[in-house]
Amino acid sequence: MSLYPFETETREAKDLSGIWNFRPDSKGVGRKEKWHLGQWSESQMMAVPSSYNDVSQDVALRDHVGDVWYQRPVFVPASWKGDRVYLRVDAACHRGTVWLNGKEITSHKGGYLPFEADITESANYGGENKLVICVNNILDYTILPPGEIKTEKHAWGTITWQDIQHDFFNYAGLHRPVRLCRVPATYIADITTVPSVQGTTGSLKCSIETSGSTPHTVEWTARDHTGNTVATGSGANATLKILKARLWEPGNAYLYTLEAKLVSKAGVLLDVYRFPVGIRTVQIKGKRFYINGKPFYFKGFGKHEDASIRGKALDHALNVKDFNLMRWIGANSARTSHYPYSEEFMQMADRDGLVVIDESPAVGLQFFGKTTKFFIPEKGGNPELLRHHIEVMQDLIRRDKNYACVVMWSVQNEAGTDEEGSRPYFQAVIEATRKADPCKRPVTGVVCTTPTTDITCDLYDVVCVNRYHGWYWHPGRWTMIAPSMIAELKAWYKNFKKPVIITEYGADTVEGLHMDPPVIFSEEYQIKFLDCNHEAFDACDFVIGEHVWNFADFATKQGITRVNGNRKGVFTRERQPKSAAFALKKRWSDPSFDERMAAKK
Ligand code: BDP
């Protein structure tokens, strides 16, 4: 995977978003019948990007399990010959295989990270190319998130379905853009920046990976928002020093533009890449989390990439609305629960000053103690899944390492971290994560175990806990929330001596349902539930953050505990506020809130 395809004077990217030809492969015959040759006599329309599930009137497509096929013609300009040409697929959920002109050019496992195929040699320049992508949505025990295909035999027939252990609908398809890209034959393959601050000087340690045979030198320039050069450097590794640097701050982001140029020995520009970069520091000391040396209290949400009709697809209008709502309500942070979000989301967070806990798609690695397919101790865990998990963390860090908004990696959500074998498994994942990040950000994983049963939390820098007193435990009994929460939080701190973020607390709420005294599912209960939790958080000086579950209502699989999806949103799925939104806004927007949280005793 190379850099995000920003265009420059040496680079081009054609966004292939639009209506593609589409065929669900309900009988699983596509490969045998060579659908990859792209000679289709019939097909449906499909939007890219989109999940395919909710755009159809066909229940079989909504609940489809297996392959679906996408196809479209692609024009590769003749002028691109001699350069490096590649296809970039930003997200094929959950496995993608790509053919160009009938030849397989790449395949990829994992639905939330980009992958590429070099087509320099195979493209038909100055003419049409047949692009075919097969996307498979099957989840098994070798992929994140894991799942299982279940089969039940009855006298009247056999039924098969996809079982999942996570609480969001298994949307599938080409969820993010597909692009045709051109870079020069000798090009910038990757850039790594490590920011630091010394007094009023900001430093960016920059390094570059290049590819291609033309000998070259590297020139670096950092510019401010007016285009003024603030620092320069040269060589594959350089440290740029910006005097009187403006720092990237939560809610008050400042981004410089970093430019890297490859110049030939004869002084000819070979390649140039520019991207926005923020300077900030992150540190944990004792009970506090510091950004730029100031104590930071996380207030915000666990989110989802989810909306009606397009499912999990990238939607710029929706993202802008979400960022506006987060600012409106006074949130300063979010977790990309439960998978890496689009690069465009990360760029918006960088620009808007939203602090991000960047999470892997490792959700649902637990069996509630029944059996374990993940951590089988005597066999050293599930080696294939562990290998994939480590690769996903490495790819995620390669993709997101330069974003100032990312202040912590989350390696998992609610795994069975009280199960034997989970410790060596996560030890390996955490170690690989720390090794992969040039910026050495803190690492966490989100737990739902108890302070006495968890066997992994000492491996993390921050204890992140999902907790539902007054909802899953003693539903409706809100008077119990504050005392039981305080007792539990104190036990987490006593046992692990790390700052604590409550990464999930929330109550399903049907907008328009009113009950006083408060009763579960009513808007009044959601407010009461949040208030009681806040009373507990405010009483614990080691609590450094609160992320309400969830920002907005979202789709789940069908089940008797879900009435039209998960309704714990503070906003509806259409992004309208429930009453709790106003209560939260009052708490988080109070001018003294951040100071009070930082000074908690
Ligand atoms: C937690 C999960 C989250 C669920 C939430 C809930 O982390 O994905 O949506 O509970 O049940 O267990 O609302």
CATH of the domain at 243: 2.60.40.10
Q: What is the pLDDT of residues 195-246, one digit of tens each?
A: 999 999 999 999 999 999 999 999 999 999 999 999 999 999 999 999 999 9
Regarding pTM above 0.85, the answer is yes
490 within some domain: no
504 catalytic? Reply is: yes
Q: How many CB atoms lie within 10 A of CB 247?
A: 20
Is residue 533 within 8 Å of 546, Cβ to Cβ?
A: yes
Residues whose CB is less than 8 angstroms from the CB of residue 586 and which lie 6 or more positions away in sequence, other chains included? none
Closest to 98 in 3D by CA, of 43, 38, 18: 38
Structure confidence at residue 373 (pLDDT): 62
Q: How many CB atoms lie within 10 A of CB 149?
A: 13
Q: What is the pLDDT of residues 308-341, one digit of tens each?
A: 999 999 999 999 999 999 999 999 999 999 999 9
Q: How far from the centroid of its chain's Cα atoms is residue 551's Cα?
A: 15
Strand partners, 521: 509
Taking each helix axis from N to C end, the angle separating 343-352 and 316-329, rounded to the nearest 10 degrees, works out to 30
CA of 167 to the centre of ligand 1 (A): 6
Best mutation site among 166, 167, 526, 547 for ligand 1 pocket (most ligand atoms within 8 Å of CB)? 167
Same structural domain, 172 and 195: no
Please state the three-class secondary structure of 362-412 as a single string: CECCCCCCCCCCCCCHHHCCCHHHHHHHHHHHHHHHHHHCCCCCEEEEEEE
CA of 25 to the centre of ligand 1 (A): 32
CA of 166 to the centre of ligand 1 (A): 8
CA of 301 to the centre of ligand 1 (A): 13
Q: What is the pLDDT of residues 285-298, one digit of tens each?
A: 999 999 999 999 99
* E strand residue ranges, 155-255: 157-164, 173-174, 178-183, 187-198, 201-211, 216-223, 229-234, 237-242
Instruction: Please list every protein residue whose CB sits less than 6 Å from any atom of ligand 1.
Output: 167, 338, 413-414, 448, 466, 504, 549, 566, 568
Point out the ligand 1 atom lying closest to the alpha carbon of residue 448. 12
Q: Rounded distance, CA 104 to CA 90, Å?
A: 18
Structure confidence at residue 600 (pLDDT): 80
386 within some domain: yes
Structure confidence at residue 375 (pLDDT): 65
Q: Rounded distance, CA 246 to CA 280, Å?
A: 9
Pairing of strands 115-118, 84-89: antiparallel
Is residue 129 within 8 Å of 152, Cβ to Cβ?
A: no
142 within some domain: yes
Same structural domain, 257 and 365: no
> Quick one: average pLDDT of 47-51?
98
* Active-site pick, 343, 504, 523, 546: 504
478 within some domain: no
Same structural domain, 440 and 407: yes
SS3 340: coil
CA of 402 to the centre of ligand 1 (A): 30
Q: Rounded distance, CA 350 to CA 276, Å?
A: 9
Strand partners, 180: 14, 87
Residue with tokens 């990309």: 336
| Helix (H) or strand (E) segment spanning residue 581 | helix 579-589
* DSSP code per residue over 430-478: HHHHHHH-TT---EEEEE-S-TTT-SSGGGSSSEEEE--BTTTBSTT-G
Same structural domain, 357 and 396: yes
CA of 302 to the centre of ligand 1 (A): 10
> Quick one: average pLDDT of 430-448?
98
Instruction: Choose one of 431, 466, 501: the last residue of a domain.
Output: 466
Point out the ligand 1 atom lying closest to the alpha carbon of residue 506. 13
Q: What is the pLDDT of residues 130-183, one digit of tens each?
A: 999 999 999 998 999 999 899 999 999 999 999 999 999 999 999 999 999 999
Q: What is the pLDDT of residues 75-114, one digit of tens each?
A: 999 999 999 999 999 999 999 999 999 999 999 999 999 9
Judged against a pLDDT cut of 80, whether residue 596 lies above it is answered with yes
Judged against a pLDDT cut of 90, whether residue 17 lies above it is answered with yes
Q: How far from the centroid of its chain's Cα atoms is residue 587's Cα?
A: 27
Same structural domain, 344 and 444: yes
- Rounded to 5 degrees, what are φ and ψ at 106? -170, 160
Residue nearest to atom 5 of ligand 1 (CA): 167
Task: Provide the token pair at 355.
Answer: 């602090």
Best mutation site among 368, 549, 557 for ligand 1 pocket (most ligand atoms within 8 Å of CB)? 549
Is residue 581 within 8 Å of 329, Cβ to Cβ?
A: yes
Point out the ligand 1 atom lying closest to the alpha carbon of residue 166. 8
Same structural domain, 204 and 177: no
Same structural domain, 147 and 211: no
Task: Provide the token pair at 102.
Answer: 């009938």
Domain count, the chain: 3
Closest to 387 in 3D by CA, of 419, 417, 428: 428
CA of 20 to the centre of ligand 1 (A): 34
Structure confidence at residue 374 (pLDDT): 66
33 catalytic? Reply is: no
- The overall average pLDDT reported for the chain is 96
Structure confidence at residue 383 (pLDDT): 83
CATH number at 88 reads 2.60.120.260
Point out the ligand 1 atom lying closest to the alpha carbon of residue 566. 13
Point out the ligand 1 atom lying closest to the alpha carbon of residue 414. 7
CA of 172 to the centre of ligand 1 (A): 20
209 within some domain: yes
Same structural domain, 53 and 161: yes
Is residue 570 within 8 Å of 587, Cβ to Cβ?
A: no
Same structural domain, 198 and 174: no
Task: Provide the token pair at 233.
Answer: 């450097």
Question: Amino acid identity of 447?
Answer: V
CA of 206 to the centre of ligand 1 (A): 39
* Active-site pick, 116, 305, 343, 414: 414
Judged against a pLDDT cut of 90, whether residue 419 lies above it is answered with no
61 within some domain: yes
Strand partners, 196: 203
SS3 598: helix
Same structural domain, 32 and 106: yes
Q: Rounded distance, CA 596 to CA 601, Å?
A: 9
Residue nearest to atom 2 of ligand 1 (CA): 167
Structure confidence at residue 384 (pLDDT): 87
Is residue 287 within 8 Å of 542, Cβ to Cβ?
A: yes
Task: Provide the token pair at 517.
Answer: 């005294």
Is residue 552 within 8 Å of 306, Cβ to Cβ?
A: yes
Instruction: Choose one of 118, 153, 183: the last residue of a domain.
Output: 183
Instruction: Choose one of 142, 161, 183: the last residue of a domain.
Output: 183
CA of 245 to the centre of ligand 1 (A): 41
586 within some domain: no
Domain assignment of residue 456, given as a range: 332-466
Q: What is the pLDDT of residues 487-535, one digit of tens each?
A: 999 999 999 999 999 999 999 999 999 999 999 999 999 999 999 999 9
Q: What is the pLDDT of residues 333-389, one digit of tens each?
A: 999 999 999 999 999 999 999 999 999 999 998 754 445 566 655 555 678 889 999
Same structural domain, 89 and 191: no
Structure confidence at residue 237 (pLDDT): 98
CATH number at 454 reads 3.20.20.80
Same structural domain, 97 and 85: yes
119 within some domain: yes
Best mutation site among 566, 567, 570, 573 for ligand 1 pocket (most ligand atoms within 8 Å of CB)? 566
